[in-house]
Structure 1
Amino acid sequence: MPEDSMKMRLKYVVEDTDRHGNVRLYYRREGRKVRLRGPAGSPEFLADYKAAANPKKPRPPRAARPGRLKPGSFKWLCTQYYKSSMWAELDPNTQKTRRSILERFAAHKDNGDKPYALMLPKHIRKRRDEMMDTPEAANSMVKALRQLFRFAIRYDHHDANPATTVEPLKSKSSGYHSWTLAEIEKYEETHPIGTTPRLALALALYTGQRRSDVIQFGKQHLRHDDGVAWLVFTQHKGRNRSPVHLEIPVVAALQEIIDASETGDLTFLVSEQGRAFTNNGFGNRFRKWCDKAGLPHCSVHGLRKAAAARLAERGCSEFEIMAITGHQTSKEVTRYTKAASQRVRAEAALKKLTNGQT
């Protein structure tokens, strides 16, 4: 540093002589000592002085961004599931329902941030018991977790499925109300042949199908064989994973109603605007048609149950009923037709008891 500048001593600059007699320059302040390059007054010296006088504050550790996933957490496993082909194969409505269940489980007591590998049957069973007031919802949760960990095993994220040993709760409900003959007649009195509500009833009752299939039936699904009309289609549910192909004869009563009704080009059922119904839209519209007939406890799904029950009352076997409804196991059919089957067996038993007289 020039002599005149040396006289202007820079603040906090001190000199120190090492054991070899070399003079060292330092910036010393509040216990902090920083070596400065010499000679004093050189560009290097001034740069070091400026840096020492204005040290950069250490960056605070980056906080986890809100919503950032922890690898190995339950939420992380869910996101991997949503990206998989197993998820892509599910029906959009099933995806929506299952995602909602998994997200509710993740939100409960911060389950989402906990390691999924530490989840045991007792943890799932505890949450199931907390939901015992709504057994159907509890059982749906267990089912969703079984599918999630089934994915985890298949994709080598885990080696066990803690939900498989969790028992479902006994349901307090018998499910959707199955229409009685009197209720069907009451609906038919309100909605005569030729109207869309009556066509909807006939399609559901005489085919035994879900509303997702009923709204898609159209002329393109009709095939004729030796003068008999058949509905040939693939059920909407599970069509991407395990498709169920059905051929159902069109009974005379259904054909009569189709012929008398105004139908669409690609679907028999169309809205007032002439468009095909969406699944939810049809469900809401059918609800209004039932309410108009004074049947607030009846639903379109209850017609599927009623169709199975009527087949059972006429002595059809479970496998014959499954050929109409498309069920792959007899478990659900048995639940649908339990009361009807009991009635048929009771009638047959009494005929045997009275030698054919009832």
Structure 2
Amino acid sequence: MTEDTDRRPYLSSFLDRHNTRRWRYRRAGKTIPIPGQPGEPAFEATYEAACEGRKVQPAKILAMPGAALPATFRAAWRRVLSSPEWLAHDPATKAKNIRLATEFLELPVIPDDPAQWGDMRVADLKRRHVKDILARYSATPHKGKHLLVTIRKMIYAALDEEWIEADPTWKMAYKPAYKGWRAWTEAERAQFEARWPIGSAARTAYGLALWLGNRRSDVARVEWSWFDFRQNIVTIEQVKGGKVLVLPLTPMLRDILDPLPRDKKYPLITAYGEPFSEKSLTGTMAHWTKLAGMPPGCTLHGLRKTLGKMLAESGASTRQLMETLGHDDIEHAELYSREAEQRRLAKDGMSRVTRKFRTLKPAG
């Protein structure tokens, strides 16, 4: 007997076949093994529980909010959030990337399995994994394209930290066909204008979106103070990219704005006298077009496309398109130019054919 067995009731010990001393609690024909050695936390907790007739409740391991295992995607994302490149992004770009990153970090590695990509080591990502992830977004390919951009931010952070030596997405081509929002036709614009007269919120939103050519994030927050009616200009600092645009105030927009009261901060307000939010403005425009009996596809952003199409068909250069619409990427502006140029060239070509081969109508 040892000192511990003498002063601890129902406790006994023995040597196992490896000559290691084992402990047990024996009472009323019931034996409970006691792990470890006297004085150790596990030993003391189990012995105390046995004396009190209860089971030992193992301590629960709770993940700290925001905790990340070393060299994982979650840890890489934390590096992204503190990088100079991230800090230079505008709020809209940050919000979009945070949304996509959160979705990826919580994405199951295998469907119906609790393991998430956020807890996987970046070094374990292979090209086949990336292709599998993109395949899950086959129904929304443009979202998949943006998700790949966000994943690459984490990969670049891992490269900077020397967790990996190569980018598994290097030269991975993923360019879904671009359709984008379509421009409104002349008939559709006439139909909307006939249903919503000047002075209505619908016509004001329509005029701001069409004749300023800006995104909904800018249209929803247009203020009267942005307009200089003496110089006939409007100054807009875009939410996306923070670019400052000074645009001419067209007579078409002035016709819409001049009759409006200016006792509020915003020209475009709800029935409660408050400005629209971005999302509510999109949904309300869909409601307005439906009430006007218009087909699907006549969207708020489509009015921005409409102005771009008008500019291109009027002969505006790619640079003029970029400076009017606020594009930094020349490829976006060239979409309008190419379409307008194709129409001009086709019309000119067919006119030449018609002049050469047309026949005179028979007399009488």
* Bin of the TM-score, shorter chain as denominator length: 0.7 to 0.9
The SS at the match of 2:334 is helix
Describe how 1:107-146 pairs up with structure 2 within 5 A.
Answer: 107-109=107-109, 110-146=116-152
Conserved in 2, the CA contact under 8 Å of 1:263 and 1:270?
Answer: no
After TM superposition, the structure 1 stretch with the greater mean CA deviation from structure 2, 91-100 or 326-335, is: 91-100
* Count of residues in correspondence between the two structures: 313
> Within the alignment, does 1:162 sit opposite 2:172 as a pair?
no
**1:269 Cα offset (Å):** 1.0
Percent identical pairs in the alignment equals: 24
Q: Is the 8 A contact 2:100 2:150 kept in 1?
A: yes
The one-letter code sitting in structure 1 at the alignment partner of 2:287 is K
Aligned to 1:76: 75
Specify the structure having the higher radius of gyration (Cα): 1
Deviation of 1:123 after TM superposition, in Å, equals 2.5
For 1:272 and 1:248, locate their aligned partners in 2 and report how far apart those are by CA, in whole Å: 29
Report deviation, 1:74. 1.3
Correspondences of 1:286-325 after superposition (within 5 Å)? 286-295=285-294, 296-325=296-325
SS state at 2:44 partner: coil
How much does 1:268 deviate? Answer: 1.8
Query: Match of 2:281?
Result: 282
Q: Taking structure 1 as reference, are residues 228 and 347 closer, same or farther at Cα in structure 2, changes over 3 Å only?
A: farther
For residue 234 of structure 2, the aligned residue among 213, 226, 231 is: 231
User: What residue number does 2:261 align with?
Assistant: 262
Cα distance, 1:159 vs. partner? 5.6
Give secondary structure in 2 for the equivalent of 1:247.
strand
* Contact 2:73–2:154 under 8 Å retained in 1: no
Deviations 1:294-327 (A, max 9, x none): 2332111011111101111111111111111011
* Change beyond 3 A, Cα 1:97–1:11: closer
Specify every segment of 5 or more residues in structure 2 that has no aligned partner in the other structure, as ranges: 16-20, 23-37, 47-55, 110-115, 359-364
Rounded Cα–Cα distance in structure 2 between residues aligned with 1:257 and 1:80? 48
Match in the other structure for 1:21: none
Equivalent in the alignment of 2:203:
198
Q: Which residue of 1 aligns with 2:62?
A: 65
Distance 1:87 1:264 in 2: 39
Q: Distance in 1 between matches of 2:117 and 2:233?
A: 51
Distance of aligned partners of 1:62 and 1:11 in 2 relative to their CA distance in 1, 3 Å threshold: closer
> 1:57 & 1:261 partners in 2: Cα distance?
77
Q: Which residue in the other structure is 2:52 paired with?
A: none
Code of the residue aligned with 2:330 in structure 1: it is S
Gapped regions of structure 1 (runs ≥ 5): 1-9, 14-26, 35-49
Cα separation, 1, equivalents of 2:104 and 2:300: 30
Distance 1:154 1:269, change over 3 A: farther
Structure 2 match to 1:344: 344
How far 1:280 sits from its partner (Å)? Answer: 1.5
Greater shift in the superposed pair: 157-166 or 196-205: 157-166
Could you give the per-residue CA deviations for residues 257-301 of structure 1, whole angstroms, max 9, x where no partner exists? 110223563322111111122212222222211221123321110
User: Structure 2 CA distance, aligned partners of 1:204 and 1:314?
Assistant: 19
The 3-state SS of whatever aligns with 1:311 is helix
RMSD, matched Cα: 3.6
Report the TM-score when normalising by structure 2: 0.73
Identify the match of residue 185 of structure 2 among 167, 173, 180.
180
Distance 1:113 1:208 in 2: 43
Closer/same/farther in 2, CA of residues 12 and 236 from structure 1, 3 Å limit? closer
Partner of 1:29: 12
- Alpha-carbon separation, structure 2, partners of 1:235 and 1:164: 33
